[in-house]
DNA sequence: ATCGTTGCAAACGTTTTGCATAAGG
DNA sequence: CCTTATGCAAAACGTTTGCAACGAT
């Protein structure tokens, strides 16, 4: 096991639970036809896979709140080895891949590791990333999608997805910085 | 050593050499005050670092053409161990970091590894990434920068940089796909 | 002579794999 | 009962580091 010192913080609202998800600030929630569980079971069916305890534990945990996380965080939040509800590291990795496959989670790379977030029933969005406190802040831009389509059309490119991350320093950290400056004076 | 099977292809023009760089299609070249070498020597001076053979070899190689590359590709392109002009793996990694520090190269993550491209004297741009042939295609969008500023202002976020990658299938691979479909009929 | 630089080997952190065992349908 | 899923340990992968030897200024 490797307990990485660097944690990924989050600035998204937690979901109300059930078949509804929180949306980036100022945006309407999205109604979803089925719960993530129902959708996952459908996916397992269609692939001839089985609905094990471990998969249930992970699905339950991952969708119990809306946050960005990596494999290591997820593992630390779950029961330790030996305890009930524990899931081994390889199984966590394997299952996260299945969730992505099933359309439940989105995955992207940040600082060298894979970060996951809700996809199913959650509106498309992009991120501001504070390199100081490692917070991810969500935002939405229709204009960005327009650019995406236009550029792709110009290059006769078939779009599957995109990733837009603005890196810098968030409002909180800027305030903190200024305070520190004042303290030094 | 790890010789990764997956290579990163490229669809950028090669530079004319010297103090001028190729720009994404349709865009004007950018005049630069000094050559990358001159700038790097200045950087070394300012940091009290030394201009070794290895650094010269790497700088020369990296700026001899305009392309995207990762550490492994660079190492494979250079002379093997024992031969003149060889640079060890750790030194390649160390030196690439210095190039980034010196403002000569930009670095971003793709498929789990670090990809480098020319920065010095080269216009800001973003990428279309073909997940089939792994080609990176450059494009430029002023509008995107406007969105970046607007979103950041709204969140009182201090921008340092951004990364925008559109993933999908490039024009060539689409053609290839259609041909294969026809062949099957 | 001094201090930065290199190469080696070995560590690192994250993710994946082979394989024997356990468990879902 | 048949197959898929799991846990363990170990490998794989890209990258970094400690250190003794080397080399630039």
Domain pair A10-122 / A124-185, same fold: no
Beta strands, E only, A2-68 = 9-10, 20-21, 30-31
Residue numbers in A near B158 (CB within 8 A): 168-170, 174
Q: In chain A, count H helices and then E strands.
A: 6, 9
Residue B7 makes CB contacts below 8 A (sequence gap 6+) with: B73, B134
How high is the pLDDT of residue A2?
44
Whether the CB-CB separation of A61 and A76 falls below 8 Å is answered with: no
* pLDDT, mean over chain B: 87
The DSSP bridge partners found for residue A84 are none
Contact across the interface for B168 and A151, Cβ inside 8 Å: no
Chain A interface includes B30 (CB < 8 A): no
Q: How far is B155 from chain A (nearest CA, A)?
A: 7
Confidence of residue A156 (pLDDT cuts 50, 70, 90): very high
Residue-wise pLDDT for B119-142, tens only, equals: 999 999 999 999 999 999 999 999
DSSP conformation letters of A52-111:
-HHHHHHHHHHTSS---EEHHHHHHHSPPTTSTT---HHHHHHHHHHHHHTTSEEEEEET
For residue B138, the surrounding DSSP H or E stretch is: strand B135-139
Strand C contact with B86 (CB < 7 A): yes
Residue numbers in B near A112 (CB within 8 A): 109, 112
Chain A interface includes B153 (CB < 8 A): no
How many whole angstroms separate alpha carbon A128 and alpha carbon A134?
Answer: 10
Residue numbers in A near B161 (CB within 8 A): 166-168
Q: What one-character DSSP code corresponds to residue B4?
A: -
Q: How far is B83 from chain A (nearest CA, A)?
A: 33
Residue of chain B with shortest Cα separation from A130: B157
Which residue in B126, B124, B108 sits closest to B8, CA to CA? B108
Residue A93 makes CB contacts below 8 A (sequence gap 6+) with: A71
Contact across the interface for B139 and A155, Cβ inside 8 Å: yes
Nucleotide nearest to B109 (CA to C1'): D14
Residue-wise pLDDT for A76-107, tens only, equals: 999 999 999 999 999 999 999 999 999 999 99
- Which class is A124-185 in CATH? alpha beta
Residue numbers in B near A172 (CB within 8 A): none
How high is the pLDDT of residue B133?
92
Stretch B72-84: mean pLDDT: 96
Whether the predicted pLDDT of B59 surpasses 90? yes
Contact across the interface for B143 and A143, Cβ inside 8 Å: yes
Stretch B150-169: mean pLDDT: 97
- Strand ordering across the sheet containing A105-110: A69-70, A113-118, A105-110
Structure tokens at A162: 């995109």
* pLDDT, mean over chain A: 88
Whether the predicted pLDDT of A178 surpasses 70? yes
Residue-wise pLDDT for A15-45, tens only, equals: 333 444 445 555 555 556 789 999 999 999 9
Question: How many A-B residue pairs are in contact by the CB < 8 A criterion?
Answer: 110
Which residue is associated with the tokens 């001028």? Answer: B20
How many whole angstroms separate alpha carbon B33 and alpha carbon A138?
Answer: 39
Residue-wise pLDDT for B25-39, tens only, equals: 555 555 667 899 999
Whether the CB-CB separation of B119 and B103 falls below 8 Å is answered with: yes
Nucleotides of C under 7 A from a protein CB: 4-10, 12-18, 23-25
Nucleotide nearest to B51 (CA to C1'): D24
Residue B15 makes CB contacts below 8 A (sequence gap 6+) with: B21, B22, B63, B65, B66, B118
- Domain-wise residue ranges, chain A: 10-122, 124-185
Confidence of residue A160 (pLDDT cuts 50, 70, 90): very high
Q: Measured in angstroms, what separates residue A1's CA from nucleotide C19's C1'? A: 20
For A181: left if phi > 0, alpha if psi spans -120 to 50, otherwise beta; the answer is: alpha
Which residue in B104, B15, B108 sits closest to B65, CA to CA? B15
Confidence of residue B64 (pLDDT cuts 50, 70, 90): very high
Whole-Å CA distances, A100 to A22, A40, A77, A95, A178: 19, 10, 20, 9, 41
Whether the CB-CB separation of B134 and B7 falls below 8 Å is answered with: yes
Residue A109 makes CB contacts below 8 A (sequence gap 6+) with: A115, B109, B110, B112
Q: What count of other Cβ atoms lies within 10 Å of the Cβ of residue B172?
A: 14
- Determine whether domain B10-122 maps to CATH 1.10.10.10: yes
How buried is A33 (Cβ within 10 angstroms: 0-12 exposed, 13-18 middle, 19+ buried)?
A: exposed
The protein residue nearest nucleotide D13, judged by CA to C1', is: B2
Whether the CB-CB separation of B167 and A161 falls below 8 Å is answered with: yes
How many whole angstroms separate alpha carbon B138 and alpha carbon B135?
Answer: 10
Give contacts of A 121-140 with B, CB under 8 A.
Answer: 128, 130-131, 137, 139
């Amino acid at each position: 096991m490797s307990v990485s010192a660097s944690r990924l913080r989050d600035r998204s609202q937690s979901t109300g639970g059930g078949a509804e998800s929180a949306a980036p600030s100022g945006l309407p929630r999205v109604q979803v036809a089925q719960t993530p569980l129902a959708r996952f079971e459908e996916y397992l069916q269609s692939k001839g896979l089985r609905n094990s305890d471990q998969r249930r534990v992970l699905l339950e945990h991952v969708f119990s709140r809306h946050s960005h996380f990596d494999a290591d965080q997820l593992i630390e939040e779950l029961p330790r080895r030996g305890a009930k509800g524990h899931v081994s590291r390889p199984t966590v990795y394997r299952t996260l891949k299945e969730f992505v496959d099933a359309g439940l989670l989105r995955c992207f790379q940040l600082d060298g590791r894979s970060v996951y977030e809700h996809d199913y029933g959650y509106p498309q969005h992009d991120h501001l990333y504070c390199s100081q406190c490692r917070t991810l802040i969500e935002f939405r831009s229709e204009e960005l999608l327009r650019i995406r389509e236009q550029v792709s059309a110009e290059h006769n490119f078939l779009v599957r997805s995109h990733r837009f991350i603005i890196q810098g320093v968030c409002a909180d950290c800027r305030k903190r910085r200024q305070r520190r400056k004042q303290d030094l004076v």
